Structures are given as structure tokens and as C-alpha cells.
């Protein structure tokens, strides 16, 4: 009969060999271990190289308050493709930025950003910060018009960085200024020429007698970017104006010109009776100080861009692929001549912006730099929607412990046998 | 001598020795600093400011050493310590001396050696400064062995010595550093020449002579200013380039092989004087032009005035006929060299000007500076007008606008008729008789009308009532009689008779004054007769006679009233497009852009900012040249570039970025920001 | 305020600015006769010392007496020229050696820039009617003044357009008559004024 001691010795040996067998078995057939690697927005890019070296059993999870750069998103997508479980969660601000050139001789870039309400936007380029703003509560985003910028433009929507390339400058075509010879026509043409626009004039002086520029181009988008009508004499251009606008050309209807028969159908509204203002002898004259022709009966598809008191002074409308701007001011020249200090430059700048906002821009060519960025969209597109982090699975017993137990059991068994012999 | 007295003598010796030692070590410290500075300067060419500082450091080191040693040895002034010193050297005293000093009882000292410890003290005092003396001598010898120029640069640094120093330089090094600029202003400024060491920008007066110089041979060193190239001249072991400063800012580009250096010459233009007239303080009207008028004015100039005086112009006459006289008063040359302020006073004697009623005197103060480069600058004050009132001016209650008198109107009309008649006479060979007579009669009708108008004036004055000439046929005979009578009187009035005129009582002798008008009336009568006959050629002499007579009448009786001219309202609708000719305008040429310079500056600024990422030195040069080019067209932008250039020179990248951002805003304008998006993306 | 062309006569402190009172009406009449320019039926007087003179981009200045601008006048004239106005100055003495010419040219040089000869093929001379140069007046050789026929007008140009135009041809005398008297003329001697105004309104 085996004694208890002997049974104990046998039991130790059996357990030891069982553990050895377990170790051999787990090394041949390893049980899947679930490890979750975590990172945040600030260090996810730095962790990616080490993540790449982790076994594919490891789950990778990023907590993002800003979408990573395109490189980071592509890398994470590649890791998922390689077998990793890649998940992310967080609330990066949904934003998209688009850059387009300002159609003006002086160039410039317009950056429009769609961003959540109340988010803070900071625009910069390699030369430093350009400007910043906060999206209003009801606003869909914000816009920047930058006269001079370098290389690519970087934008921060809260902590979300976006990058757009600076689009190539577009040299605008000539603009045609049509009107009766008078101060408004003279100073509008002069202001645009001073700003670098190529201006073709057609000023009516007497029946059949016009003061014209050297060349009179055809009224089409191959020759002209915009037509500026100072008064109703734009009617002499006939149906060519409508064709021009529908092809993409721009039309500015100043003063009462929107009432001319050939353009009234294009105008954003009709021309209301002129609002006159009393100007005191000591008043400094600004834009609209002496009154304007209000845009009345604004069409449904038109937008009122500027109001003054109860009247609309500037309204805009798209016609075909072109744009029409109706400007109620008919004597902006008074602002230039008799305005406050700097009014000459302000008048010039204002008219250049008016024309630039409707000027025809040719279609973008192939090979243009990347002028839009939507990092959150790319994140969703490559990695899917946000998900909670996977649960970490329990890991197996440490093999070193098992080895120690095996050795201990064998030692106990051998010691017991030896001591038995000594007794 | 008591022990205490002897002790005091010992103290004196010991203190002297300690003081001399401290002084010696102080001198050694100062000289050592100078020596070290000279050594460093010979390799690094320290700036003037650094050398001044090192001078101070050397002096400070000497003083500090002296003070430290004196403080350390301060106990030599206490008797107690001196007594201990003596006790150390003479143990036989057995501390009696110290005890005596402490208790004040000299009797405790029983034995005092013959020499009273003074010999020991003397020897000690003489030994103490020996070491520092030797060190001073060694330092001085070393300094003397160094080149005199090198030591002088440290010993007495002054502007212009940056290129002195005989230490040989590596020929491969740039000869453009150190650089000296000597500025000699024009002689008229009475300012002495100045020197600038290592200049990056100098501001000389336009016309100054600037000489750049440096160490080394002159070959291969060139200066480029605008499109001009200047070659360096040799001057001993130095090179120099001489140029005259123009009125506009410029950048001098000095090149030595592959080395380049830019120096900005921001010329200061001598502005004309500014003159303020204090007396008379405002325009005025004088009833009588007598006495003298006090004049006073101040003139200031940025460089120096040479003369100041009062100028006056006297205008006499009225209407179309004026005479002018001018002169100066109170003029005096300003002899003090470089006088930038002058006050002048004078008295204008009105009697001497022989002013008559209606004259206007314009007075102003004028000052000139001594600018011999671009011509003397002339500054003038505001002008004051002094008018002498016309006779009767103060009697009238109101001055109302008067329409041109009949005489004045008639001059124009008569002249027109003459021109028409002349033109008709010229066309006579080409016209048929009927047409000729018809047109001649048209002119005759106008002449008649004109004659009637003159007649109204003439006969109103003669008879006091309206002329009834040719008003109706019924009473024409009666009126003609009356008129004939009047004509007879008029005839006799027009110097055909020497009989005295028979005037009724109260009648003013206006006829005598209106002789010319009567003459004109008669001449017109003759002219219209000829014109009726279709003979414009024969009518012309009579018409010209009438014109001359009207002119005479006009001048004899001037009725020129100053005031608001008559308002003639044109009936636009009636006149619209009634002209015979049609215009044919030429094409309108385009006008140049006003901001082409700005576009150029923008592209250059962009290139400079892009360059700043790789090459700071080249960026500094680009921005320097851009700043100078922008000074004339866009001084605000030019001013914003200076902080960027300075920050880049000092290696402060963040400051330079901020400064460049400000420069960009100043040049291109701030961005426009909208805090929302509308459906119309291209907002104006 | 209307958008018409208003003929403005410059009033300055130092001289007889109103020496040609009928010129405005005559020129207004001329403009109406040959063009369809919307012109006001009467002229206005614009004191140079008042900033309101900037409301009239075309100014006519004449006289016989010295021209000396006050500081306020100088300031306004400078601003007027900088902003694109056209100042037409005519020497009523037609005397290049006379005080009006000397003082006015000095004031213009000091206020704006020195005057230079305007070439006779300048667009001004073909802006409406064609002229080979400045038309001669009947007063240039009337025995008064300098008794010269002045071949050129003088001008200060800014950015390619005339800012100040100076005449020694005495257009002030030539045009200083009631418009009704035009009927006596075979050739309208005010036609050059049309060129002036059309140039001012279109250049």
C-alpha cells in the first residue's frame, strides 16, 4: 500500500509533467491575447511606428479631438488592413476649408471654412499668423480674404488643423465701363484702372458720339470679365449683355442702370425711387451719404448683400453661370473726392472688390494645387465612424511562474524521495 | 620717545608699505586687462563700444584690486595690530607692548630697543611693493613690445580707428570688415565731418561726400550704387572709395571677391525754410494809405538760413487794366553760420509807395537757405493783402452786383458787328449781289438796334427822359423834331462847335463826359446807312469809329463794382444740341495703375520671406534693398521693414517673423474676415 | 445733391477771382449746344479755402492780380489734385512776365508740382473737337499783356491725366460774353471749352 507520502510524490510528478505539457501545448498552439494600445491626438503620430511593430493581436485605439494628418489616417488604415483592430473615438470638429483665387489684378486668396458654431478659427501661412475669428452662433463657418499669402495656408478650427495650398493667381480679363460721360463713369473707370484692371470705356457724349477706349472688344467671356453699367445707356449694348452673363460673365448695375430694358430681366431687383439725403455743409461724404437707388422687389433667387436703413443698396443674383450685382449708389465719386482722409484709396478698393466679386473666372486647369481640405471627412472615410475602445482580454499565466512551479514540484518530489531513503 | 610714539612711527611705515603694495597690484590688474584686451582685439577687431567698455573694465579692475588689498590690510592702521607685529619680531617684549596698548599704560614696557623697531618696519615697508612693482614692469614691457597702433586702439578708442592696427590680417579674409565711412557734409552746412565705424546705415545730407575705407589692397574692391560702379583707390595699406550722396536713398553694394556688404545711404534732403508772417496778422482795408506798416516774421530751417526779407507787390487799376510794382523791404543777409532760426522786422513806408484808392498791396515774408547742392531752398509765408479803399466806398450802404453797363455790353456787340461786316466783305467776291445786300441789311438791322440802345443812354442823360427815337410812325415826326433838336445839341456837344452850352438850371453837365458816346451814336448812324446800301466795306470805318468812341466812353466812366457777378441762367433745353458742329473724339488712352509699385514690393517681400527659411544673410540684404526702394513710394511699409531687419541681424527669429507679418499687412492691407458664410461666396 | 456737371469758379483770397463773370454761363451754354452732358444751368463759386470745393472736380480759376494761396487753400488744392480733380487756370492778363503768371505758377509748383509744356498732340486737343494745339484767342495780340501767341498750354500731370492746366491765352476774355452773342460768330470760339469739359469727364 502506497503511503500518503508516496501519493504526494506521484501527485507532484504528475502535476509537474502536466504543467510541462501545458507549456509545450501553449507554445505550439498559443491562445489569442487581446492587448489594446491607446493614443491621443497629440501623440498618435509618434506612436504609429511602434504600433506597426506590435503583433496584430494588439488592438489600436485613438482618442481624437482632432483628426490626424492625412499621413496618420492613411497609416492607421494600413494597420487595419494588416490585421490590427483599429478604432477611434472622440469629437473632432467637422470642418472643411476651400481656397479660391480672388479674380483681381492684385490677386489674393479667399478661404472659406465650414466649421461648427462658436469654434475658433486661426489662419496662418509660413510667414506667420494672418488673422483669426470665431464662428457665430448661427454661422455655418467663416471666410477670409487674404491679399497676400505665401505657399500653403494652414487653418486651425479649435485644435483641428487644416491645410490648403495657395491657388495660382488668375489674371482677369478686361472690364467694360458703359455710361454717359459724367463724374461717376469717369471715377469708376479711373478707380479700376488705378487698381490695375484693364478697362475699356464707352462714354456717351452726344448722339452718335462716344468716347471709347482704343480697342472695343466683343462682348463675350473670351475678351471681358465683367461689364459695369453706370446708367441706363447700357441698353445700347442690347441682347449681347444677357448672352455674356449667361456664359459666365459678370455684370454690375450701378445707380438706375438696372432699369434699362436689356438688363432689367437680369437684375436682382427693380430700381426704386432715389432716396435723397440732406447733406449738411460740414458733412464728410461717405459711400451712400447723398442717397442711392434702392433695390426694390428683390427677386426670390437674389440675395440682399447690403442694407442701409430700410433699403437694400447691394443685391446679387446668379444668372446662368454668370453673376449680376445691383449697386444702388450712383455718385460714389463724391465719396472719393470729398470723403475723409483715405477715401480715394477706399473708393478704389471698394470698386475693385465689387467687380472682382462678379468677374468671370476661367475653369481651373489640371495640375492645380490642392485647394481644399476636409480631414474629418477623410477620417470617417478611411476608418469609419467612432467606436468605443475594445476591452482588454485577460492574459494567460506567466510562463516563468509556471516554470518555477514545475521546478518546485519536481524538487519537492525528489527531496521527498531522497529523504525517505535517509530515514 | 615713548613706546606709543615709536609704535605710531612703525604703524606709518607699515601702512605706507601696504598702500604701495595695493597700488602696485591695482596697476598690474588694470594693465593686465588692457593687455588681454589688446590681444583679443588683434584677432577679433572689437567694436568701438566694446573697446570703450574694456577701458572701463581695466580701470575698474585696477580700482577693485586696490580696494580689496587695502581692505585686507586695514588692520595695519590699528596700534594693537602693529604692537602684535612688533611682538612677533621681538619676543623679548613678552607681550608687554600689547598689554600696554590695551591698558594704555606705557610704563608696562620696560625695554625699548635703540632703533625703536623702526628699522624693521622700514625694511618691511620697502619690501612689500617690490613684487607688484616687478609685475608692473613686466606688464609694461609686454605692452611696449606690442604694436603701438594695437595698444592705442584699446588705450584711447575713438571713431575711425577700426581700420587702424598693424596686426597682419589673413589675406583670404574679407577686406570689407572692418569698414569705415567718413561723411563730409557740404560746406554750406558748416558742420564738421564725422566718421562711422562698421556702418550698416548712414544718414548724410544730400550732397555730402562719403568715403568708405578698409584695410588691405584696393584691387578687386568695387562699390555699386544704383547703376554706377566705383573702383577702390589705394591709400597706403588701406583702400578707399569716394562718392557723392544724391537726394534719394540708395544702397551701396561693396564687393570683395566673393564677399559682399551692403550699406544703406538714407540721404537727408535739405528742406526749404518755413516762414511765418506775424505782422500784419490779417488782410485789411485802409481808408488812407499813410504812415508805415509794421512787419514781422520768423523763419526756421533745418540746416541754415542765408537771407530773409519781406516782398510786396502793388496792383493798381481795375477791370481789365492793371499795373504792377514790386519790391523788397527789410532784407538782410544772415551771416551767422548754421543759423536755423531768424526773426525779421521791418517797416513798410506807405507814403513812399504812393498808393492810390483801389490799390492792393500783397505782402509776404521770404527766406532762403544756403543749399548750394540743389539750389537755395526758398520758403515763403502766407500772403496778406492790404487794400486802399476807393473813393465813396465807405459811403455806399450796399454793394450789389451790377450788370455790365450798357457801354460794356455795347463794346462786345459792336465788336461782333465789325467782325460780321469784315467777314461779309471778305466773302463779297463769292456772293451774289442779292445775297450780299440781304446779309448786309441783317447786319444793318443789328447796328440799328445797337444804335437805339446807345441813343437811349445818350439822350436819357441829355434830356432826362427816355429817348423816343423810332418808336412809332405817328409821332415820329414830332419826336424827330425833338430828336433833331437834341441831335443838334449833341452835334454841337461833340466838339464841332466852341459855343458854350446853354444848360438849364440844375442840369448836370453830363454831355461833356458823354461826348464819346454821342460820337459813337453818330458813327453808328453812318454805318447803318452804308450797310443798308449793301456796302459793308464802306460801313467798316464808321463802325470802327463807333467802337473806339465806346471804348473811350467806357474808360471815362468806369462803373466797376466788386461783388457777386450776375447770375445768368442758361435754358439748357433750348440750347441743347443747337451747335452746328459735331464732335469726333479720339480714343481714350488707358491710364496706368496707381499701385504698380506696390505689386512689385509684394512679390519682392514674398521672395524675401521664402528666402528667410534658408539664408538669413541674403534675406537681410534683400529686405534692406527693398526698404530703400520703398522709402519714396511707401514710407509706411519701409518703416515696418526696419524692425524685421534688426531682428534678423540679432538672430531673433520669432521677432523677425512678427515684424514681417506686420510689414505684409502694411503693404497689402489687412485681410477681410467674415464670421459667417452666406450663399454669395464672393462678397464685395 | 445731383449728379450733373456743375461749372465751378474757384474763389481765392488774394486776387480778383471774379474777373470773368460771364465765362461760366457761356461754357454751360456751349456744353449744352454740342453734347448731351447733364450740365447744371448755372455755375457755382467754390472758395478754395473751404473743403467743399472738393465736391466740384472741375474748377476754373482766373484773375489779373497776384495769386497767393493761404495754407487752407493750398491744403485743399493739393487734396483736390491728389483725388483726381482738374484745375483749369487762365491768366486774364495773358502776360507771362506778369504777376498773375509768376505767382500762380509759383504757387502751383509749391502746392502740386512744377508746370511743364503740354504737347500739342495731347488727347485734350482731340477729346471732342480736333485742334492742332491750343486755339489762339483774339486777345493775345491786342496790345496788352505780353503780346505773344502762346503755342502751348502748361500742365501738371498725375498718373497719365492732367491735374492742373495753365493757359496764358486769355480764354477768360475770349469767353467772357453773354451766350446770346454767339449768334454773331461764324465760328464758335468756345468750342475748346467742350474739349476741356469732355476731357475732364472722361479721362
Beta-strand pair B179-184/B209-215: antiparallel
List chain B domain ranges: 3-155, 179-265, 274-388, 406-561, 596-668
Q: Assign B7 to helix, strand or coil.
A: helix
Task: Give the residue with greater pLDDT, B683 vs B303.
Answer: B303
DSSP strands (E only) in A147-213: 153-157, 160-164, 174-180, 199-206, 209-212
Q: How many Cα atoms are found within 13 Å in the side-chain-facing hemisphere of C10? A: 28
Q: How far apart are CA B26 and CA B139, in angstroms?
A: 12
Label residue A46 by pLDDT band (50, 70, 90).
Answer: very high
Residue B494: DSSP 8-state:
I
- Enter the C-alpha cell of residue A284: 464728410
Distance from CA of B571 to the nearest CA of A (A): 18
Residue the block writes with cell 562718392: B243
Q: Flag if C191 and B581 touch (Cβ within 8 Å).
A: yes
CATH of B274-388, one of 3.20.20.70, 2.40.50.100, 2.60.40.10, 1.10.150.120: 2.60.40.10
What is the reported pLDDT for A193?
94
What is the reported pLDDT for A392?
66
Comparing B502-511, B543-552, C187-196, the range with the smallest average pLDDT is B502-511
Distance from CA of A278 to the nearest CA of C (A): 8
For the complex shown, is ipTM > 0.90?
A: yes
Q: Flag if A209 and C55 touch (Cβ within 8 Å).
A: no
CA C151 remoteness from chain centre: 16
Number of B to C CB contacts under 8 A, please give it: 138
B48-72 and B148-155 helices cross at what angle (nearest 10)?
Answer: 70
Q: How many Cα atoms are found within 13 Å in the side-chain-facing hemisphere of B114? A: 0
- Mean pLDDT across the stretch B286-304? 90
**Nearest to residue A93, comparing CAs of A187, A156, A177?**
A156
- Mean pLDDT across the stretch C84-94? 95
Give A81-109 pLDDT, tens digit per residue.
988 889 999 988 889 999 988 999 988 99
- Enter the C-alpha cell of residue C147: 503780346
Give A379-395 pLDDT, tens digit per residue.
999 999 998 887 765 55
Comparing A356-360, B114-118, B153-157, C64-68, the range with the smallest average pLDDT is B114-118
Name chain A contacts of C195, Cβ cutoff 8 Å.
none
Give A234-255 pLDDT, tens digit per residue.
999 989 999 999 999 999 999 9
Residue B486 has pLDDT above 70, yes or no: no
Report all structural domains of chain A as residue ranges with CATH numbers, in order of start. 2-91+378-419 (no CATH), 96-169+367-373 (2.60.40), 174-358 (3.40.50.880)
What is the reported pLDDT for B557?
44
Average pLDDT score, chain A:
89
* pTM to 2 decimal places: 0.73
Burial call B215-230: b when 16+ CB within 10 Å, e when fewer: bbebeebebebeeeeb
Give the burial class of B103: count Cβ atoms within 10 A of its Cβ; 0-12 exposed, 13-18 middle, 19 or more buried: exposed
Q: How far apart are CA B341 and CA B275, in angstroms?
A: 10
Percentage of chain B lying above the pLDDT 70 cut: 84
- Enter the C-alpha cell of residue A251: 455684370
- Enter the C-alpha cell of residue B607: 521672395
List chain C domain ranges: 8-201
Residue B493 has pLDDT above 70, yes or no: no
Q: How far apart are CA A243 and CA A223, in angstroms?
A: 14
What is the reported pLDDT for B274?
94
Name chain B contacts of C17, Cβ cutoff 8 Å.
none
Report angle CA B122, B127, B128 to the nearest 5 degrees.
100
Name chain C contacts of B571, Cβ cutoff 8 Å.
41
| Residue in chain B lying closest to A196 (CA) | B593
Sign of torsion, CA C144 C149 C153 C154? Answer: negative
Average pLDDT score, chain C:
92
Q: Flag if C32 and B572 touch (Cβ within 8 Å).
A: yes
B406-427 and B536-556 helices cross at what angle (nearest 10)?
Answer: 160
Interface test mutation site (partner B, options C7, C13, C29, max chain B beta carbons within 10 A): C29
Give me the residue from C42, C181, C191 closest to B412, CB to CB: C181
Q: How far apart are CA C168 and CA C148, in angstroms?
A: 9
Distance from CA of C172 to the nearest CA of B (A): 11
Label residue B562 by pLDDT band (50, 70, 90).
Answer: very low
Residue B502 has pLDDT above 90, yes or no: no
Q: Flag if A344 and C5 touch (Cβ within 8 Å).
A: no
Average pLDDT score, chain B:
82
B383 touching C (Cβ < 8 Å): yes
Q: Flag if C29 and B575 touch (Cβ within 8 Å).
A: yes
Give me the residue from A203, A276, A290 closest to C202, CB to CB: A203
Give B256-267 pLDDT, tens digit per residue.
988 889 999 999
Q: Flag if C33 and B575 touch (Cβ within 8 Å).
A: yes
What is the reported pLDDT for B547?
86
Give me the residue from B670, B676, B680 closest to A303, CB to CB: B680
Fold assignment, B179-265: Immunoglobulin-like (2.60.40)
CATH superfamily entry for domain C8-201: Domain of unknown function DUF4159 (3.40.50.12140)
The answer to whether A298 and A305 are in contact (CB under 8 A) is no
Name chain A contacts of C57, Cβ cutoff 8 Å.
183, 187, 333, 337
Give C98-113 pLDDT, tens digit per residue.
899 999 999 999 999 9
What is the reported pLDDT for B410?
53
Q: How many Cα atoms are found within 13 Å in the side-chain-facing hemisphere of B554? A: 21
What is the reported pLDDT for A396?
62
Give B385-394 pLDDT, tens digit per residue.
998 988 766 6
Q: How far apart are CA A272 and CA A251, in angstroms?
A: 19
**Nearest to residue B31, comparing CAs of B133, B116, B168, B183?**
B133
**Nearest to residue B545, comparing CAs of B520, B567, B577?**
B520
Label residue B173 by pLDDT band (50, 70, 90).
Answer: confident
The neighbours of chain B, by the rule of 3 or more Cβ pairs under 8 Å, are A, C
Distance from CA of B660 to the nearest CA of A (A): 7
Interface test mutation site (partner A, options C37, C52, C58, C202, max chain A beta carbons within 10 A): C202
Give B176-194 pLDDT, tens digit per residue.
888 999 999 998 888 899 9
Amino acid at each position: 500500500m502506497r503511503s500518503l507520502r508516496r501519493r504526494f510524490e506521484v501527485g507532484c510528478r504528475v502535476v509537474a509533467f502536466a504543467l510541462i505539457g501545458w507549456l509545450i501545448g501553449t507554445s505550439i498552439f498559443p491562445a489569442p491575447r487581446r492587448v489594446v494600445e491607446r493614443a491621443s491626438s497629440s501623440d498618435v503620430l509618434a506612436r504609429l511606428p511602434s504600433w506597426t511593430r506590435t503583433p496584430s493581436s494588439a488592438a489600436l485605439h485613438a482618442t481624437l479631438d482632432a483628426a490626424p494628418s492625412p499621413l496618420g489616417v492613411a497609416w492607421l488604415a494600413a494597420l487595419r488592413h494588416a490585421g490590427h483592430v483599429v478604432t477611434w473615438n472622440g469629437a473632432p470638429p467637422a470642418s472643411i476649408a476651400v481656397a479660391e483665387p480672388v479674380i483681381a489684378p492684385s490677386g489674393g486668396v479667399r478661404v472659406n471654412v465650414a466649421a461648427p458654431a462658436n469654434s475658433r478659427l486661426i489662419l496662418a501661412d509660413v510667414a506667420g499668423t494672418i488673422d483669426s475669428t470665431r464662428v457665430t452662433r448661427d454661422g455655418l463657418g467663416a471666410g477670409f480674404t487674404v491679399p497676400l499669402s505665401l505657399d500653403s495656408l494652414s487653418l486651425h478650427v479649435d485644435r483641428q488643423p487644416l491645410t490648403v495650398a495657395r491657388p495660382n493667381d488668375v489674371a482677369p480679363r478686361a472690364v467694360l465701363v458703359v455710361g454717359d460721360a459724367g463724374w461717376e463713369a469717369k471715377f469708376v473707370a479711373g478707380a479700376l484702372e488705378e487698381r490695375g484692371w484693364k478697362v475699356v470705356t464707352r462714354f456717351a457724349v452726344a448722339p452718335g458720339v462716344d468716347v471709347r477706349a482704343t480697342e472695343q472688344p466683343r462682348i463675350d467671356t473670351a475678351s471681358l470679365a465683367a461689364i459695369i453699367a453706370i446708367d441706363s445707356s447700357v441698353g445700347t449694348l442690347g441682347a449681347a449683355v444677357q448672352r455674356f452673363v449667361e456664359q459666365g460673365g459678370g455684370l454690375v448695375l450701378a445707380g438706375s442702370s438696372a432699369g434699362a430694358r436689356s438688363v432689367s430681366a437680369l437684375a436682382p431687383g427693380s430700381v426704386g425711387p432715389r432716396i435723397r439725403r440732406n447733406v449738411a455743409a460740414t458733412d464728410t461724404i461717405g459711400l451712400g451719404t447723398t442717397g442711392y437707388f434702392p433695390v426694390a422687389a428683390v427677386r426670390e433667387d437674389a440675395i440682399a448683400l447690403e442694407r442701409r436703413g430700410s433699403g437694400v443698396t447691394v443685391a446679387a443674383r446668379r444668372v446662368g453661370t454668370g453673376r449680376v450685382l445691383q449697386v444702388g449708389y450712383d455718385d460714389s465719386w463724391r465719396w472719393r473726392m470729398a470723403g475723409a482722409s483715405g477715401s480715394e484709396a477706399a473708393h478704389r478698393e471698394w470698386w475693385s472688390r465689387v467687380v472682382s466679386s462678379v468677374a468671370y473666372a476661367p475653369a481651373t486647369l489640371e495640375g492645380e494645387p490642392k485647394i481644399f481640405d476636409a480631414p474629418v471627412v477623410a477620417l470617417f472615410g478611411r476608418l469609419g465612424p467612432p467606436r468605443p475602445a475594445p476591452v482588454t482580454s485577460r492574459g494567460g499565466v506567466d510562463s516563468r511562474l509556471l516554470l518555477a512551479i514545475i521546478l518546485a514540484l519536481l524538487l519537492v518530489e525528489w527531496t521527498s524521495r531522497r529523504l525517505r531513503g535517509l530515514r | 620717545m615713548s613706546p606709543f610714539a615709536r609704535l605710531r612711527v612703525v604703524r606709518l611705515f607699515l601702512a605706507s608699505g601696504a598702500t604701495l603694495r595695493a597700488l602696485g597690484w591695482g596697476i598690474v590688474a588694470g594693465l593686465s586687462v588692457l593687455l588681454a584686451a589688446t590681444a583679443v582685439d588683434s584677432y577679433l577687431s572689437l567694436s568701438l563700444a566694446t573697446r570703450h567698455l574694456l577701458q572701463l573694465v581695466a580701470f575698474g579692475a585696477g580700482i577693485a584690486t586696490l580696494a580689496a588689498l587695502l581692505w585686507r590690510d586695514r588692520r595695519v592702521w590699528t596700534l594693537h595690530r602693529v604692537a602684535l607685529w612688533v611682538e612677533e619680531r621681538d619676543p623679548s617684549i613678552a607681550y608687554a607692548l600689547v598689554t600696554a596698548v590695551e591698558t594704555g599704560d606705557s610704563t608696562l614696557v620696560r625695554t625699548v630697543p635703540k632703533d625703536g623697531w623702526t628699522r624693521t618696519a622700514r625694511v618691511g615697508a620697502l619690501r612689500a611693493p617690490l613684487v607688484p612693482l616687478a609685475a608692473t614692469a613686466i606688464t609694461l614691457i609686454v605692452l611696449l613690445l606690442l604694436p603701438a597702433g594695437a595698444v592705442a586702439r584699446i588705450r584711447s578708442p575713438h571713431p575711425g580707428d577700426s581700420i587702424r592696427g598693424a596686426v597682419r590680417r589673413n589675406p583670404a579674409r574679407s577686406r570689407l570688415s572692418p569698414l569705415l565711412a567718413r561723411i563730409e557734409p557740404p560746406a554750406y552746412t558748416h558742420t564738421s565731418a564725422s566718421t562711422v565705424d562698421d556702418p550698416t546705415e548712414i544718414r548724410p545730407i544730400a550732397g555730402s561726400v562719403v568715403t568708405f575705407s578698409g584695410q588691405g589692397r584696393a584691387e578687386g574692391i568695387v562699390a555699386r550704387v544704383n547703376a554706377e560702379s566705383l573702383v577702390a583707390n589705394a591709400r597706403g595699406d588701406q583702400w578707399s572709395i569716394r562718392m557723392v550722396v544724391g537726394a534719394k536713398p540708395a544702397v551701396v553694394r561693396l564687393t570683395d571677391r566673393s564677399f559682399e556688404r551692403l550699406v544703406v545711404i538714407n540721404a537727408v534732403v535739405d528742406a526749404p525754410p518755413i516762414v511765418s508772417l506775424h505782422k500784419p496778422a490779417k488782410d485789411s482795408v485802409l481808408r488812407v494809405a499813410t504812415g508805415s506798416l509794421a512787419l514781422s516774421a520768423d523763419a526756421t530751417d533745418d540746416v541754415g538760413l542765408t537771407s530773409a526779407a519781406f516782398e510786396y507787390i502793388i496792383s493798381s487799376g481795375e477791370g481789365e487794366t492793371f499795373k504792377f510794382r514790386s519790391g523788397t523791404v527789410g532784407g538782410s543777409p544772415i551771416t551767422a553760420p548754421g543759423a536755423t532760426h531768424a526773426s525779421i522786422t521791418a517797416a513798410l513806408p506807405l507814403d513812399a509807395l504812393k498808393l492810390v484808392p483801389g490799390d492792393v498791396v500783397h505782402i509776404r515774408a521770404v527766406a532762403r537757405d544756403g543749399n548750394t547742392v540743389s539750389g537755395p531752398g526758398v520758403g515763403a509765408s502766407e500772403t496778406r493783402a492790404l487794400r486802399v479803399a476807393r473813393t465813396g466806398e465807405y459811403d455806399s450802404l450796399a454793394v450789389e452786383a451790377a450788370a455790365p453797363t450798357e457801354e460794356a455790353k455795347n463794346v462786345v456787340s459792336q465788336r461782333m458787328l465789325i467782325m460780321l461786316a469784315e467777314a461779309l466783305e471778305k466773302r463779297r467776291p463769292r456772293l451774289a449781289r442779292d445775297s450780299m445786300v440781304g446779309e448786309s441789311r441783317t447786319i444793318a438791322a443789328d447796328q440799328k438796334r445797337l444804335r437805339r440802345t446807345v441813343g437811349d443812354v445818350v439822350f436819357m442823360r441829355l434830356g432826362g427822359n427816355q429817348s423816343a427815337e423810332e418808336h412809332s410812325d405817328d409821332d415820329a415826326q414830332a419826336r424827330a423834331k425833338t430828336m433833331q433838336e437834341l441831335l443838334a445839341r449833341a452835334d454841337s456837344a461833340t466838339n464841332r462847335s466852341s459855343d458854350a452850352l446853354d444848360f438849364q438850371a440844375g442840369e448836370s453837365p453830363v454831355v461833356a463826359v458823354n461826348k464819346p458816346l454821342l460820337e459813337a451814336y453818330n458813327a453808328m448812324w453812318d454805318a447803318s446807312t452804308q450797310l443798308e446800301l449793301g456796302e459793308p466795306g464802306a460801313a467798316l470805318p464808321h463802325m470802327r469809329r463807333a467802337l473806339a468812341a465806346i471804348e473811350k466812353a467806357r474808360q471815362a466812366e468806369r462803373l466797376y463794382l466788386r461783388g457777386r457777378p450776375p447770375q445768368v441762367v442758361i435754358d439748357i433745353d433750348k440750347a441743347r444740341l443747337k451747335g452746328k458742329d459735331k464732335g469726333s473724339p479720339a480714343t481714350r488712352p488707358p491710364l496706368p495703375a496707381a499701385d504698380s509699385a506696390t505689386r512689385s514690393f509684394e512679390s519682392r517681400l514674398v521672395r524675401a520671406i521664402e528666402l528667410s527659411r534658408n539664408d538669413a544673410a541674403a534675406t537681410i540684404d534683400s529686405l534692406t534693398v527693398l526698404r530703400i526702394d520703398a522709402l519714396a513710394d511707401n514710407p509706411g511699409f519701409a518703416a515696418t521693414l526696419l524692425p524685421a531687419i534688426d531682428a534678423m541681424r540679432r538672430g531673433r527669429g520669432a521677432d523677425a517673423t512678427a515684424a514681417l507679418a506686420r510689414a505684409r499687412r502694411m503693404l497689402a492691407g489687412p485681410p477681410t474676415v467674415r464670421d459667417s458664410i452666406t450663399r454669395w461666396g464672393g462678397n464685395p | 445733391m445731383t449728379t450733373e456737371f456743375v461749372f465751378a469758379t474757384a474763389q481765392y483770397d488774394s486776387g480778383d477771382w471774379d474777373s470773368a463773370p460771364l465765362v461760366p454761363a457761356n461754357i454751360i451754354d456751349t456744353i449744352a449746344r454740342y453734347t448731351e452732358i447733364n450740365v447744371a444751368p448755372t455755375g457755382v463759386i467754390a472758395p478754395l479755402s473751404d473743403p467743399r470745393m472738393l465736391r466740384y472736380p472741375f474748377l476754373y480759376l482766373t484773375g489779373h492780380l497776384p495769386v497767393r494761396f493761404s495754407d487752407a487753400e493750398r491744403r485743399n488744392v493739393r487734396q483736390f489734385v491728389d483725388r483726381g480733380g482738374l484745375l483749369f487756370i487762365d491768366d486774364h492778363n495773358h502776360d507771362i512776365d506778369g504777376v498773375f503768371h509768376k505767382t500762380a505758377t509759383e504757387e502751383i509748383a509749391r502746392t502740386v508740382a512744377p508746370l511743364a509744356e503740354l504737347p500739342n498732340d495731347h488727347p485734350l486737343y482731340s477729346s471732342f473737337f480736333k485742334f492742332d494745339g491750343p486755339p489762339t484767342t483774339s486777345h493775345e495780340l491786342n496790345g496788352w499783356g505780353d503780346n505773344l501767341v502762346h503755342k502751348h498750354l502748361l500742365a501738371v500731370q498725375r498718373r497719365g491725366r492732367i491735374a492742373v492746366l495753365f493757359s496764358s491765352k486769355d480764354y477768360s476774355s475770349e469767353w467772357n460774353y453773354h451766350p446770346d452773342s454767339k449768334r454773331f460768330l461764324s465760328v464758335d470760339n468756345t468750342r475748346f471749352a467742350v474739349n476741356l469739359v469732355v476731357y475732364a469727364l472722361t479721362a
